[in-house]
Amino acid sequence: MTTKDRDLKKFLICMVDLMGVILVGLFLTQSSSPRFHIDIEDVNTMLLIHIAAFYMSSQFNSLFDRGYLEQLKSVIIYSLYFLVGITMMVFMSKSHFYIPRTASLVFVALNGLLVFAIHSSIKYYYQHLYPTLKYSRKVLLVTTSDRLDIIAERFKVSQGWGGQISAIALLDAPQEIALPDIFKGKHLVTVDEMECYARQNVVDEVFLNLSRDFDEQISDYLLLFQSMGIIVSLNISAFEIPLNSDRRVRKLGKFSVLTFSTKFYDYEWMVIKRLLDVLGALVGLVLTFLIGLVLVPLIKLESKGPAIFAQNRVGRNGRVFKFYKFRSMYADAEERKKELEQYNQMKGLMFKLEDDPRITKIGRFIRRTSLDELPQFYNVLIGDMSLIGTRPPTESEFKAYSAGHKKRLKLRPGITGLWQVSGRSDITDFEEVVRLDAEYIDNWSLWLDVKILIKTIQIVLLGKGAR
């Protein structure tokens, strides 16, 4: 976690706690007893006191590492700061801010209990629930057998670091080695299998924890994993390695690491991108419903089968998800694809055929107008996709990827992207698609997304969608 990410998470938790202050404040404003009642105007002052008490008591520090007794102690300190803050405000503002003593004590006590519950819930979520989710950070640990125990011990005391070790590559040991308890059940790969595993499985980050004996190999590993678009973190006994990549010092659990990536994305911009995705998806789903009222009967009238086509696709860093489109082909299109592969007009790992006989009449219209893509707003809403990104490959395409091809999957795939607005119907070389996707990934900004979105709207209005 970088310093900026840490500061943002601290701020977000402070804001979540703020909701607790508001709830307690509103509860006490409803009291009919003068001893417990506070005015609604005084709740605003309480919010400012909370922010000061939160930062002065260092509530966020070691939140995920301390036990529940330590957590209780931390909340008590925060509550004392809060009580002192109330007292100071009463004296400083004279008659403008007054809360009865009993109301102050009840407010601080209830708020303290709520903060303890909130922080305990956040801690439990990050330690036990978040690592099991599909979109949690999956880390491939690359190390040697003699370092496993100390690595396991340090991860054991920092379970809220926001990810999980999903696989371990040992450079000096066979697969039969006994793993520490915390790593039991993790996928174990040999050095020969490491590249294939990283290429064909979900790997968000690689953690290289190696001794100086591996100095020569480390540069090769960094280049290999970065060519796949995977973030690489290096245990900071560190290594001055001349690479054409950005690097940052940060924390990975209890480890200080040097992290390499061709492009780092600031957490706050990713949050904004996701919020815009959700807003866009909600609007898009309303549009999908209205247009679907007309399209669905037309699709089903022309050919048998469901109106919405569902297919497994591969998303960010190798995650498989169910991908949806309005069906533009006959129901047996996938079976007939094998017969048509010899006519493929695309060079490489994609299939494209002009005047594809599998496409229905209504299908040609909805492809030309890009209406077939509308159900993907649901994929965007649930987090499988983004409004703007790279196109998700099929599972068969993904399995044939080289290391450099996987870089396409560094970000969430999108409904539209740089490739789509760069004349996708005229591009016949898969490597050109990869180049455009890599250009998007390496130069991503919110402004680039806006420009792509504007170009997409122009293309759709002019009817220049897929053929």
> Looking at the DSSP assignment, which residues form a beta bridge with residue 137?
163
114-142 pLDDT, tens per residue? 999 988 888 888 877 887 788 888 999 99
SS3 of 149, please?
A: helix
> Looking at the DSSP assignment, which residues form a beta bridge with residue 326?
308
Strand residue runs (E) in 51-199: 137-143, 163-170, 187-190
- The contacts of residue 381 (CB under 8 Å, 6+ apart) are 277, 278, 281, 282, 285
Dihedral angle of Cα 199, 201, 204, 207, to the nearest 10 degrees:
-80
Distance CA 256, CA 237 (A): 9
Residue 384 phi, psi dihedral angles, 5° rounding: -75, -30
Whether residue 350 is predicted with pLDDT greater than 70 in this model: the reply is: no
Q: What is the mean pLDDT of residues 327-349?
A: 69
369-427 pLDDT, tens per residue? 889 999 999 999 999 999 999 999 989 889 888 888 899 999 999 999 998 888 766 67
DSSP characters over 283-303: HHHHHHHHHHHHHHHHHHHHS
Question: Under a CB-based contact definition with an 8 Å cutoff, are residues 266 and 242 in contact?
Answer: no
pLDDT the model gives residue 237: 57
Question: Under a CB-based contact definition with an 8 Å cutoff, are residues 314 and 134 in contact?
Answer: no
Please report how the helices 68-93 and 101-124 are oriented relative to each other, as an axis angle in degrees rounded to 10. Answer: 150
Whole-number Cα distances in Å, 284 to 329, 418, 423, 437: 23, 20, 24, 24
Pick among 3.90.79.10, 3.40.50.150, 3.40.630.40, 1.10.3720.10: CATH of 134-261? 3.40.50.150
Compute the mean pLDDT over every residue in the chain, rounded to the nearest whole number: 84
Whether residue 241 is predicted with pLDDT greater than 60 in this model: the reply is: no
Structure token digits, residue 302: 């022309």
Candidates 443, 425, 431; CA nearest to 405 is: 431
| 321 membership: H or E segment, kind and range | strand 320-326
Q: What is the mean pLDDT of residues 52-62?
A: 78
196-217 pLDDT, tens per residue? 999 999 999 999 998 878 878 8
pLDDT the model gives residue 277: 95
- The contacts of residue 397 (CB under 8 Å, 6+ apart) are 314, 349, 350
Q: Which residue has the higher pLDDT, 224 or 68?
A: 224
Structure token digits, residue 233: 């973190």
Distance CA 94, CA 115 (A): 29
Residue 259's CB: how many other CB atoms inside 10 A? 21
SS3 of 236, please?
A: coil
- pLDDT band of residue 97 (cuts 50, 70, 90) is low
285-307 pLDDT, tens per residue? 999 999 999 999 999 888 888 89
Select, from the ranges 161-170, 221-230, 335-344, the one with the highest average predicted confidence (pLDDT): 221-230
- pLDDT band of residue 348 (cuts 50, 70, 90) is low
311-333 pLDDT, tens per residue? 999 999 999 999 999 988 887 77
pLDDT the model gives residue 238: 46
Domain coordinates in residue numbering, the chain: 3-130, 134-261, 267-461
Q: Which residue has the higher pLDDT, 121 or 62?
A: 121
Structure token digits, residue 154: 């340090």
| 252 membership: H or E segment, kind and range | strand 246-252
Question: Under a CB-based contact definition with an 8 Å cutoff, are residues 106 and 28 in contact?
Answer: yes
Helices (H) and strands (E) in the chain, counts: 14, 11
Question: Under a CB-based contact definition with an 8 Å cutoff, are residues 34 and 100 in contact?
Answer: yes
